[in-house]
Chains A and B, each alone.
Chain A
């Protein structure tokens, strides 16, 4: 159990001297390279009558990078939740050797174990065994600064005991100074030097995902489970996150399990050593090369071919630069002369509180807003980097937040003064990226609420009786898309997030998009070449 001693030492050293701790860690790693760090045997989990995982066996080795994939609702997040202590499996065993000492959990657990407050299968217990995770929705501590988000993660801080703070204040303050120093160094390594005092809700999505990874590592994680670390992140952000993950896996020998969806799978495959594919409640272990050969359609080719096929064989496309890295690509089948503008933005400026989000000041100090037109029959793609203000623009289009300046015309009528429901009645339908479902209703009730007929929603038939809250991320996204009326203008904010992009999904998406006279799809910028 040399590694146990090493890790305890390293944890203490990393507070004072991160470099020395790193070199010690490297030595320790060489001892344990061949060892398995986590084993799950015969794991089984059902929700009601619905079996999500059946006889799943996994084995993780130090420094291994695993891509976990599967269709929507195949149980990826459930497996992640089980291996990180968030939910108990119905049956099976889990053995964790990551922190050097061995922990063994057998399920179902006998009732007397639940009486022992120190022997629960909980996230904090599993985290103390050097297992960390990041969430799909990131979950940084929103009211805290970036520095505090990292500093709080340090294990065994003396200042977390209030008695120690009051009785030996100088010691806890010294420890806290060290801790903040190290956290600041980690922040620089994450490429966020100088952003120590930025609030966690004021940075871009890609940056929050990096901080979340740094936070889990700071908490001592040697096995890191990442739930969609690339989802919604723009191309530049994806590159930085992949660099960070590569350095963690290759230089620091951290074991990574990455859950990702179709569009980002090729990027993760570049790093992965193993692929776990969940299908029909079973887990298949595959090699990355095999999986790469299987990729077809959107996952392999990216979005552009799909968009072109949607726009039709004779479609032209033109691009408009909207400033600060955002651009609008419009695919249209006919020449513009014959077309009627459906939506027109003239010099639109939007603020959130005092912060200017849409629009930028020119040399004279006046604020110049954005302007663009969408014509009937258009399929438009709005690419913008994270933090550009896509969501703000969407909310302004729908009338949730007011526009400070500019004009908004729909079908040549000004709609700036109209309320949200009046705009929807005129024929604008928006699929929001978040908060687009009713948790406590069943799928059937949700569809009825929105007056959707069963013919439109056949791809959801197997989900009708389930509560929306119990669905997986991708299934919820499908429900949310089914609620969109065949409006004149359809606006979709990141419709592909959490979707598996199977043929069924893309066909349904095709069908929804074709029902609108014009469609705008908001996407993070993925690739400069796209």
Chain B
């Protein structure tokens, strides 16, 4: 049972990530490879705020989301001018920058959150407190599953409201034809800033759930592999609607678990997993470019 709940938590975390990424990939038509960075920024900010300043769960979460929203300008400002491959390269640069800061800005002799040691480098930050909301502690797997599914529901409703609103329509029009949208007098720059701010802060929320659940975070959560996993979820599930990213998250979270039953040696299993991702994406691109459930064909 604990195993199933554990999987439910992971599915909730990755569904939140995929839904938020869908706002950029599916609704803005921009492919970002830096989503794991914002996930990690959320997890790390939560860890630092709770451990060093002693903040509670809600203020630290709000802080983490705010930091991610502000840092999303690193993506949204270049998105004013760049699209397509150039934007992917810029997002890769941001991905590499965040990963390298988290990995290298440390000196073991100094405590964390100081100028000499930002976040403990490759050793990561242990002992991150479990969520505690108005006196209720979420320290069991079942309570954590309830919390993460509830947060998934809140994120789903929030993003759902945005997607059916004129804001969502404006994003889709911008994706279809940015110049025509500008010709109607729309402030596309501000709209992009909003979209990236919302998407990155929700990714940060997923990071908060992850780090508080596992009580540990290290730079691997900001790795490029992790970003690719998130993008795969969105592309395999299908972009531009609601079901797609969630289906993608479920498929890609459960797939390694199924491979686990194949009794493969650990080192082989990891490689087989990557192989299956690759084959799956290649097949999807050929056979069903709009993803399993998608309504928009990402170009």
Residues in chain A within 8 A of chain B (CB atoms): 84, 86, 117, 122-124, 127-128, 132-133, 135, 139-144, 148, 151-153, 155, 157, 159-162, 165-166, 169, 172, 176, 179, 215-216, 219-220
Contact = CB atoms under 8 A, between A and B. Distances in A.
Contacts of B183: 84, 86, 123-124, 127, 132-133, 216, 219
23 contacts: A124-B185, A139-B179, A140-B180, A141-B172, A141-B177, A142-B176, A142-B177, A143-B175, A143-B176, A144-B169, A144-B173, A152-B166, A152-B170, A152-B173, A155-B185, A160-B166, A161-B167, A162-B165, A162-B194, A165-B166, A172-B166, A176-B166, A219-B183
B282 interface: no
Nearest to A219: B184
Q: A86, A139, A160 — which one has the most chain B CB atoms within 10 A of its CB?
A: A160
Interface in B151-189: 158, 161-162, 165-167, 169-170, 172-173, 175-177, 179-189
B18 interface: no
B296 A152 contact: no
A127 B175 CA distance: 19
Nearest to B187: A124
B165 A216 contact: no
Given A117-B189, A160-B170, A166-B161, 8 more contacts: A124-B185, A132-B183, A132-B184, A144-B173, A152-B173, A159-B165, A165-B161, A216-B183
Interface of B: 158, 161-162, 165-167, 169-170, 172-173, 175-177, 179-189, 191, 194-195, 198, 240, 296
Given A162-B162, A162-B167, A169-B161, A215 B184 contact: yes
Contact of B165 (A84, A86, A141, A165): A165
A172 B296 contact: no
A157 B173 contact: no
A386 B182 CA distance: 28
Contacts of A165: 161-162, 165-167
Nearest to A176: B166
Contacts, number: 96
Contacts of A153: 184
A135 B178 CA distance: 13
A86 B180 CA distance: 11
A127 B185 CA distance: 5
Contact of B162 (A132, A144, A155, A166): A166
A124 B176 contact: no
A430 B169 CA distance: 39
B186 A141 contact: no
Contact of B184 (A117, A127, A179): A127
Contacts of B179: 86, 123, 139
A159 B166 contact: yes
B172 A144 contact: yes
Chain B interface main SS type: helix
B179 to A, nearest CB: 7
A122 to B, nearest CB: 7
B188 A124 contact: yes
Nearest to B80: A117
A166 B170 contact: no
A122 B162 contact: no
B184 to A, nearest CB: 4
A142 B177 CA distance: 9
Contacts of A152: 166, 169-170, 173, 181, 184, 186
A133 B181 CA distance: 11
A80 to B, nearest CB: 11
A38 to B, nearest CB: 16
Q: B167, B189, B195, B296 — which one has the most chain A CB atoms within 10 A of its CB?
A: B167
Contacts of A135: 180
A153 B180 CA distance: 10
B250 to A, nearest CB: 26
A144 B176 contact: yes
Contact of B167 (A124, A132, A159): A159
The 10 closest A-B pairs by CB, nearest first: A159-B166, A127-B185, A219-B184, A123-B182, A141-B176, A139-B180, A165-B165, A128-B185, A141-B173, A124-B182
A146 to B, nearest CB: 13
Contacts of A141: 172-173, 176-177, 180-181
Q: B158, B170, B177, B184 — which one has the most chain A CB atoms within 10 A of its CB?
A: B184
A139 B177 contact: yes
B176 A166 contact: no
Contacts of B177: 139, 141-142
Q: B175, B179, B183 — which one has the most chain A CB atoms within 10 A of its CB?
A: B183
Q: A86, A124, A215 — which one has the most chain B CB atoms within 10 A of its CB?
A: A124
A141 B182 CA distance: 12
Contact of A179 (B166, B167, B191, B240): B166
B158 A166 contact: yes
A151 B184 CA distance: 11
A157 B166 contact: yes
A151 B169 contact: yes
A422 B173 CA distance: 41
B22 to A, nearest CB: 15
Q: B177, B191, B240 — which one has the most chain A CB atoms within 10 A of its CB?
A: B177
A165 B162 CA distance: 7
Contacts of A162: 162, 165, 167, 194-195, 198
A518 B173 CA distance: 44
A152 B161 CA distance: 17
A160 B173 contact: no
Contacts of A132: 183-184
A215 B183 CA distance: 10
